[in-house]
Every structure is written in C-alpha cells, then in structure tokens.
Chains A and B, each alone.
Chain A
Amino acid sequence: MSSAISATSETAVKRPKLINLLFPSVITGLVLGVAGAALCGWLVNMVTTSISPDQVPNDDAVTAAVYTAWVLFFFIGIGAFNGIFKWGFGRKEPSEAEEMQLAGKDQGVWRYFRYTTDHKVVGMQYLVTVFVLFFLGSMGAFMIRLEQSVPGAIFFNPETYNTIVGMHGMIMIASTIVMVSGPFGNFILPIMIGARDMAFPRLNALSYWLLFAAIPVFFSTLALGGFPTGWTGYAPLSVQELTPGMDAYCFLILIFATSTTIAAMNIVTTVMVMRTKGMTWGRLPIFVWGVVFSVILSLTAFPSFIVSQMMVLMDRIYNTSFFLAASGGSNWLYEHLFWFMGHPEVYVIALPSMAIAAELTAVFARKPIFGYRLMVSSMVGISVLSVLVWGHHLYTSGSENALGGPYMLDTELISIPTGLFFLAIVGTLWRGRIWVTVPMLFIGGMLVNFVIGGVTGIYMADLPTDEILHGGMFVTAHFHFTLVGAMVFGFMAGLYYWFPKMTGKRLNARLGILHFWLFQIGFLGTFLSLFYAGLQGEPRWSANVALPYANANLVASLFAILIAASVFTLAYNVIHSWLRGETADANEWGAKTLEWAVPTPVPLENFEGELPVITSLPYNYGEPLPDLPSTPAPEIDITAVVIETPMQPQGED
C-alpha cells in the first residue's frame, strides 16, 4: 500500500457484482477443494490397489492424497494462485485499484469470505476462527471431565476417549499458538507500529486460509477412526497404523505449522522494516516485542515439528522405519524432534500473552512500564533459554541420563527471566491509579495462575521429583495452569481490551466480570484437585479413573461445570455485544499506543493522511513529581503520537 494514496473510499462506493464477490471466494475454494480431494483420493485408491499384491488399497496413501489435494485445490478455488499466474504469464503489475480490490475495498462483509489481504480483515478472520476452535476444544475438555467424573470407562469407550483427549489437546495447542498473534498480531500490531499493512499482505491471507483449510483435515479424523496417541503423537504408537485417523493429525500439523511459519515471517519482516518514523526499537510497544520474540521462536521450533510428522507419515505410508527399533530406528528420535519443538512452543504461546499483560498493566495503572528494558531483556532470555531445555520432557525416557543435569540447570534458569518479567508487572501496578476493568481482572488472574503454574513447573524441572511426577496428572495440571490459567487469561484480557477497536462495540462489563469469576473459580477448583490427584500418582490419559483418585476427579469435574458456564457466558457476551452492544469510543481506555489514535472503525489504510512520527515510548504517564530537585525536565511528550508532520518523508513502503 503506497502512502501516496490519500484517504480512502469516500468517492463513489461502487459495490462489485455478486458474481465477482463469489468467484473466487471461500465457497469456490470449498467446492473445488472437495472435488479435487475426491478425485485424487479415487485415483490413488485405484493405483495403490492395482499395484498391491493383495489388491488392497494403501489407506494412508489415499488419505495423504486426499488431504494434499484438498489443500491445493482449495487454494486454487479461493484464488490464491491468481496473482502468481498473472505474474508468471507476464501481465503487468497489479494497479493500485487491483491492490485495493484484493484488500477488500467496497466489498462489505464479503471481504471476510475471500482471499483478502487487508490485515484487519485477516485479524478478524483469525479472531472468529480462534473463537470457534476454543469452543470446540472446550467441548472436548468437557467430554474429558465428564468421563473422568466417575471411575471406569462409563461414558466413552477408551478408544473414543483417547481420540477426544488427542483432539482436545491438539485443537487447544493450535488455538493458543495463534490466539494472540493471529487476531491481535494481525489487526492491531501493524497499526501499533504505524504501518498501513503488513509486509506481505498476500502471505497474510495465505497464512489464515491455511489454518482454515487445516480444520476440516483434522476433524476428518472422526470419520477415519480417530487417533490413539494424544496430542503428542508419540511414535511408535502413531506408526502402529490402528486407523487412518492418525494421518489427519500429521497433516494438521504440516498445514498448521506452514501457516504459522508464513505468519511468523510476515510479522518479523513487518516489524523490522515497516515501523513508522521515530519508532526505534527502544520505543516499540512491549506487545510488539512479545509477538516478535514469539514468532522468531516459532520459526526456530516448528520446522522440527514438520520434520517429525513427515517422518511419521513416511513410516505409515511407505513403511520406512525412522521410529521402529526392530528395523534400526528409535522412538527416542521422535521424542527429541517433538520436544525440540514442544518446549519453545509453549513459550511461543506464552510470550504474546505476557506481553499483553505488560501492555495492559501500564494502561490500567496509568503508569509507565516498570523496567521496559528489563522486560525486553527478560523476553530475550526466555526465548534463548527455551530452545535449550527440551530434554526435561525426556528425563524418564532413558535416552539421556548423562544430560539430565545440564537440562535441569537450563530449565531452572528460565525461572530467572520469567521472575524479572513478573517483577516488572508487579512494579507497574505498584502505586498506580488502577482502573479495575475486566481486562485488568484477567491480568490479575493471570498473575495468580502463572505463579502457581510456574512454581509447580519447578518440581518437574528437578530430576528427583520428576521421577515421581512425570506422566501423571500433576503434569497436566501444571501445563493447564500455565497455558490456560495464564496464557488464555492473557488472551481474554487482550480480547476485552481490543474488541472495542476491532468491532466498534464494547463487550458488556458485567458479563465480563461474571465470565472472569466463573472461569477463575472453576479453573482453580478443577486444576488444584488434579494437582492433588497427580501427587497421589494418577497417570495421565486415564480413560478409566482408578478408585483412589475418584474423589479428586469428581471435585475437578464439578468445578469444570463452572468453566463451561464461563465459556457460554463469553459466547453470549461476544454475540450480544457484537450485534447489539454499546458503541465504543475511539480511545476506549485512554491508552497511548497508536491503535487508539485512529478512529473506529479503522479506515482501510489505517491512518488518514500522513503516517505518525514517534518521539517516545507510549507509556509516559504521570506528571513530573512535585518535590523533585530542579533537574531539567526530561524530553518527554505527554502524548506519544504526533499526527501531522507535513514535510518529512515517510519511512514506510
């Protein structure tokens, strides 16, 4: 988007014809995707049947062909390749009008259903998808708690239960990875750094639609027999070929990891080159730092995930033996590949939420961040260390007894930068003028839950205590406290905070308070009980809860009812507020970051007129103190944003 274009669309609003809106759109994508998948599936079925000595098709090959064709044809159908083909066949460069078309200008609500490049559209698409994924994942959680409320496999067959556990885990992991960098990283972040769009708008749309395409792939496992491995997908159980449903899991990961890698490249490039004039690295809002570190970590970690799943697929389809000891492979290989991703991945989830907490605390305490550089350094420390600690998931695997000590040292070390970060948040709150809004409540809950989650992590980081805790419910409770109690709470804080900017309506505060308390009390009750069960020795993945753990699990399931009620309250709040809520102010919370300086709804090119010039961090709340000695007043602008600077060249493009 060249800055030469002055503000937007107040000239004749020409609505495109419906046929142009529909074709291409997600509808053509779905139609072509299903058709292509069916065709390729049939072809591969025919081929593998005819070349097999028993005239039996290779189910895994057919499934792989179906999924690959689905993705390819979906993208052909939705028009993702149109620009590439035009470029390849030597047509001229797209004009401004065509770029605007691609960005969804004048398309009304249809732009959300097409391959639209406007980062705000992509952000909203991510938000709705995250809601849907969270809802479905929560349903899985409630199934789990239902089954675990009484001993015995009463409600579900253990095979069904294992599939439910695996689906719940994978859906939630996928959701939590994208929950902040998807909606807010796309919608808010470019505005926050003073850009008009992201660096790669078409790749932005690609990353979203890849996530969209991955969802039916994953849910097709329900028609293929499910998968027995839980979300970790350990080989050789995943290679044992119980059902073709395992392929759905592998392909979900291939597609999803590609989506996040593309999004990560996009975010990193955008922040590196498209910050507006004056926004040096030292004046970057802390939220942007958090998202940037998170995506850099994901760029490091997810390739390992992709590789591990490719190897599983090759073992399944082509009978290679990466993970089969009987033919020279090793299951430890899978474990190392998986956890090399798995550990940084939880920090991919954590850093954006922690950054939201830092960002919002400054706004709601009306105080500068207590130690901005401290926070940034601690995020660097967390990112670097998190890549080095994956072996702590393998303490009891038998694969690395000599490395236990170094991994333990490393893992314990992460608590230092994490502690610094939370010191900074507590310091920001201290002596502020705290406006206890719903986002602030969620941040308070996040702090409480993260402390509990972090402390319990220490037990498992230490070798001797991990001997009694690994693979038990204690682990489950720990990661729920950190991922849900802290990180999802951070997402909720960000949701209540940015919803007014993204939709123009404010979420109902009373429902928000109800949502928070139901969630927090239910969450504490459920997972503290599960900590207790884990200490007694209950293993994870128990379709059948044994008698000694029955009481703790029953209590956990009863509290989970509160969590369920909180989810439905949120759903009602979102739908009701979106349709009939109060209109929000452009600067709803009185914050100083750039997204609050633009009107709501945000114009297509974000900033009307010239881009802003930044002269300080957006956290310079507070007047100079009354009884300070007469030092010269530091050069701070009370407002962090200077909207017009007529004569300076703009720094983006």
Chain B
Amino acid sequence: MSEANIEGNAGGASPARQEPRHMRRVLIIWIVSSVVVIVIWLLTVQFILPAAGSALDDADNITMSVFTIASIPVAMFVFVFLAYSLLVFKTKGRPTEDGIPLYPRPALQISWLGITSVLCLFLVIWGLFAFYQETSAATTSDTLVVNVTAQQWMFTFEYPQYGMSSTGAQMIELPINRPVIFHVTSEDVLHGFAVRALGVRVDANPGYTTSTPIVTPTQLGPDVVQCVELCGLYHSYMWEAINVVSADTFNAWILSQGGHS
C-alpha cells in the first residue's frame, strides 16, 4: 500500500509553486547560520576549553573543536528546519486542511545515508588516528615512571626510578618536557585517576595495574589529579596537586623527598 503511495506521490517534491521558495529560503538560512555559529565557536573556544598542559591534551582540544565544527551544520539543520516549520507552516488553532503528503524519494534517503555515513566515518577515522597517535609512544629510558596507588580517599605516589615516594603536602612534582607514564592501582575499591590538563585518565582497579598513555607536560605551573570514579564518602575530596617544574627544581624535590638522583 505504501509502495503505491511512494510512486503515486513521487511528484511530491514539486507540487505547488511555493515549495522551491521555502526550500531555497531554509537552505540559505541553514548555511548562513551554520557559518555564523562556526565563527562564534572559533572565537569563543579559547574561553570554553581550558588551556592544554600537554601535547596530548592539546590534540584532544583540537579534536573537540573539529568535531564541534563538523556537528554544527548537523545541529543547525535540525534547529533551522524545525524553527522554520513551526513558524512558517503553523496554523492558527485547529487546522482546517491537511498538509501536502510528502514522501522521501530514494535519492534523498540514499544521499542522507551517504552524507551521515561519511561524517560518521570521518569522526571514527579521526578518532582512531588521534588515539593511536596518542597511545602508541613506547617507553624510552627518558620516560619518568610514576606508580600511583589509589585508596579511599587519597592517591599516593611512588617514583621507583628514584627510590622514593612522595611524602606529605598532597603535592607532587613533574619535570617539564619529559614524558611520564602513570601506573595506577587501587588498594580497595574502584577509583579514577584523572589529570585534566595533561589529558589522561584511567581507572584504578584493585588487584590490577593499569597505565595511562605516555604524556609529556608542556606547561609550567599547577595542575590537579582528581578522582573520577565514585569511591565512597570523600570521593569529591580525593585529589592531589601537581606542580610542573623545571628539571632542576624537580631533581631538588626528589632529593628532598628522600630519593636518590
């Protein structure tokens, strides 16, 4: 039955003379609004995304920005068509006649499917590339190894290469421009080890050790480790300050904590 409908109304795309006007108008509004919103995004993204503390985080920020730009036309499509329809095609009160029956031509369905598939593949391929780029680095002798033990409700850190664990002050230091890898485990329940500005996070599982990707801090200054997996009473107090400092300051700190250089 509906098959007949599709054929019978295949001319549904070109009925009255008004259709091209509406479609043309809404397409223009769509394109213009997409461009405007993309420009607004490009101007405001620096205020929305926090500054990156590592190349990895920077790549993530770029990924987010690119994805947003790719999604803006999709979002505007829905917003513009919806708003246009609700404003232009609305009736006053109860309608007295039916709308024009429109059915999608196969061409429209296939092209829509094609465009969304291309967009989707773009997102997937970009994501895969970015991810493998970020995680494929191998440890070198230069890589700083930090063992993190999470428990309710504090992270404790150990620098096995220097034979020390950080003591006190809920603060650790990392040297700038030196790759670091965190090996994380938990003593009791699930915790989430997350360093926002470095762009890494991994769960701390009891009985297993998981690792973050190798990341290189590129900005001096303060940073934080936060727990991102609900772990009980003081989950939202579970944090540690990170100070990214120069190599000399870092070495001095290691010695002050009881490690050897």
Contacts and interface: CB of A to CB of B under 8 A. Distances in A.
A307 interface: no
A601 interface: no
Contacts of B124: 408-409, 412, 462
A436 B236 contact: no
A135 interface: no
A412 B120 contact: yes
A236 B190 contact: yes
Interface stretch (B137-145, B158-166, B225-233, B247-255): B225-233
Interface in A616-640: 616-617, 620-629, 631, 633-636
A226 B93 CA distance: 51
13 contacts: A228-B233, A367-B102, A372-B2, A374-B109, A396-B202, A412-B120, A415-B116, A420-B112, A420-B116, A462-B127, A546-B239, A616-B1, A634-B8
A535 B71 contact: no
Contacts of B67: 458-459, 462, 465
Contacts of A540: 228, 230
A451 B15 contact: no
A240 interface: yes
Given A368-B102, A616-B1, 14 more contacts: A237-B190, A326-B206, A367-B101, A374-B109, A398-B210, A427-B104, A434-B91, A436-B86, A444-B82, A451-B78, A470-B194, A535-B49, A536-B196, A546-B239
Contacts of B199: 467-468
Contacts of B184: 398
Contacts of A467: 56, 60, 134, 199-201, 213
A572 B112 CA distance: 44
Contacts of B82: 426, 429, 444, 447-448
Interface in A532-574: 532, 535-537, 539-546
Given A431-B89, A541-B230, A622 B128 contact: no
B127 A463 contact: yes
A465 B58 CA distance: 11
Contact of A431 (B22, B77, B126, B130): B22
A282 interface: yes
Interface string A152-168: 01000011001000000
A416 B205 contact: no
A523 interface: no
Interface string B80-114: 01100110011101110111111110000100110
A415 B239 CA distance: 36
A435 B91 contact: yes
B91 A433 contact: yes
Given A367-B102, A542-B236, A229 B230 contact: yes
A325 B86 CA distance: 57
Contact of B64 (A326, A440, A465, A471): A465
Instruction: Please indicate which of the listed interface residues B1, B60, B64 has the most CB atoms of chain A within 10 Å of its own CB.
Output: B1
Interface in A116-140: none
A465 B60 contact: yes
Contacts of A628: 8-9, 11
Contacts of B15: 625-627
B4 A635 contact: yes
A636 B6 CA distance: 12
Contacts of A620: 5, 101
The range of chain A's interface size is: 35 or more
Interface in B1-51: 1-2, 4-5, 7-9, 11-12, 15-16, 19, 22, 48-50
A366 B91 CA distance: 11
B51 to A, nearest CB: 11
Contacts of A459: 64, 67
B123 A458 contact: yes
Interface of B: 1-2, 4-5, 7-9, 11-12, 15-16, 19, 22, 48-50, 56-57, 59-60, 63-64, 67-68, 71, 74-75, 77-79, 81-82, 85-86, 89-91, 93-95, 97-104, 109, 112-113, 116-117, 120, 123-124, 126-128, 130-131, 134, 184, 188-190, 192, 194, 196-197, 199-203, 205-208, 210-211, 213, 224, 226-237, 239
Nearest to B153: A158
Contacts of B127: 408, 412, 461-465
B47 to A, nearest CB: 10
Given A366-B98, A622-B101, A451 B232 contact: no
Contacts of B81: 426, 429-430
- Across the A-B interface, the 6 shortest Cβ-Cβ residue pairs: A325-B207, A398-B210, A471-B228, A537-B196, A432-B99, A367-B99
Given A405-B128, A471-B201, A455 B196 contact: no
A232 B131 CA distance: 27
B203 A398 contact: yes
A242 interface: yes
A464 B201 contact: no
Given A465-B64, A542-B236, A544-B237, A429 B188 contact: no
Given A325-B205, A412-B124, A539-B236, A622 B98 contact: yes
Nearest to A623: B98
A471 B229 contact: yes
Interface string A446-459: 01100110010011
Contacts of B64: 459, 465
Contacts of A626: 15-16
A225 interface: no
B2 A282 contact: yes
A373 interface: yes
B44 to A, nearest CB: 11
A419 B9 contact: no
B112 to A, nearest CB: 6
Contact of A464 (B74, B131, B194, B231): B131
A404 B131 contact: yes
A447 B86 CA distance: 12
Interface in A351-396: 365-368, 370-374, 396
A174 B213 CA distance: 37
B191 to A, nearest CB: 10
B201 A396 contact: yes
A433 B98 contact: yes
Contact of A433 (B50, B75, B95, B211): B95
Contacts of B207: 325-326, 330
Contact of A536 (B1, B9, B12, B50): B50
Contacts of A472: 194, 228
Contacts of A436: 86, 90
Nearest to A240: B189
B192 A471 contact: yes
A450 B197 CA distance: 29
Nearest to B79: A448
A212 interface: no
A160 to B, nearest CB: 10
A282 B1 contact: yes
A601 to B, nearest CB: 23
